[in-house]
């Protein structure tokens, strides 16, 4: 009779563990989502605090270059004199800023395929894109990332 009690106890433990696992697994997935949300909110809080601090100091960055201009609001300045278009320069600029073709296309308002054809020297960018490339040429990696983050925030 002792064997029946031991076997019954082991079965109860096994079944209870299985049932507990069924309940816990969905909660683990929810926990991952909640942790990602918390991280995103913390990052947003830091960004907002920086903006509040810069506004309170009076150092608002209103002279930031606009890359997402409408056709009638395109950059009216001529591209920098030292920026000449070549396929190699477009490729080097993208690599220097550590951008994918998709990300560069988002910043310039063009397609991924357009970036590819410019880098392959199969096509030449229009004047509006040359002006935007000149602006990108003047940015740092962090500046380009910041513009990408702003673009992503606008998209959401």
> Could you report the per-residue pLDDT of 61-86, keeping only the tens digit for each?
544 555 554 444 444 444 443 467 88
- Please report the pLDDT score of residue 66 as a whole number: 52
137: tokens are 């040429």
pLDDT at 129: 86
Q: Taking residues 84-95, what's their average pLDDT?
A: 89
78 and 150, same domain (yes or no):
yes
Tokens of 72: 């009638």
Judged by DSSP in three states, 126 sits in coil
Number of domains in the chain: 2
**Domain assignment of residue 21, given as a range:** 1-63
Same domain, 109 and 142: yes
Tell me the chain's radius of gyration from C-alpha atoms.
27
Burial of 151 (0-12, 13-18, 19+ CB in 10 A): middle
Do 59 and 77 share a domain, yes or no?
Answer: no
Percent of the chain with pLDDT over 90: 36
Element (H, E) at 69: none
Q: Are residues 146 and 81 in the same domain?
A: yes
3-state secondary structure (DSSP) of residue 115: helix
Residue 117 sits in the same domain as residue 81: yes
Which pLDDT value is given to residue 85? 81
Residue 115 — pLDDT band, cuts 50, 70, 90? very high
Contact predicate 44/38, CB 8 Å: no
Report pLDDT digits (tens) over 18-48: 999 999 988 988 899 999 999 999 999 998 8
CA distance 147 to 61: 13
User: If you count them, how many residues does the chain have?
Assistant: 156
pTM: 0.48
Co-location of 101 and 145 in the same domain: yes
Domain finish residue from 26, 45, 63: 63
Long-range contacts of 87-93 (CB under 8 A, 24+ apart): 87/118, 87/119, 87/120, 87/121, 90/115, 90/118, 90/119, 90/125, 90/133, 91/119, 93/133, 93/136, 93/137
pLDDT recorded at residue 127: 83
Torsion over CA of 68, 72, 73 and 75, rounded to 10 degrees? 90
CATH code (residue 147): 1.10.260.40
- Considering the domain architecture, whether residues 51 and 94 belong to the same structural domain is answered as no
pLDDT of residue 117: 93
- 148 and 79, same domain (yes or no): yes
């Amino acid at each position: 009779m002792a064997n029946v009690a031991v076997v019954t106890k082991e079965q109860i433990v096994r079944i209870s563990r299985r049932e507990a696992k069924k309940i816990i697994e969905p909660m683990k997935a929810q926990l991952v989502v909640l942790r990602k949300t918390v991280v995103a909110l913390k990052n947003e809080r830091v960004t907002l605090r920086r903006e509040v601090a810069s506004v309170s100091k009076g150092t608002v960055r209103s002279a930031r270059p606009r890359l997402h201009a409408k056709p009638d609001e395109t950059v009216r300045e001529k591209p920098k004199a030292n920026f000449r278009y070549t396929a190699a320069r477009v490729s080097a600029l993208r690599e220097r800023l550590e951008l994918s073709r998709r990300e560069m296309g988002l910043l310039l308002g063009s397609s991924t395929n357009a970036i590819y054809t410019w880098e392959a020297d199969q096509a030449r960018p229009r004047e509006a894109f040359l002006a935007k490339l000149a602006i990108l040429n003047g940015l740092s990696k962090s500046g380009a990332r910041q513009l990408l983050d702003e673009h992503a925030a606008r998209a959401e």
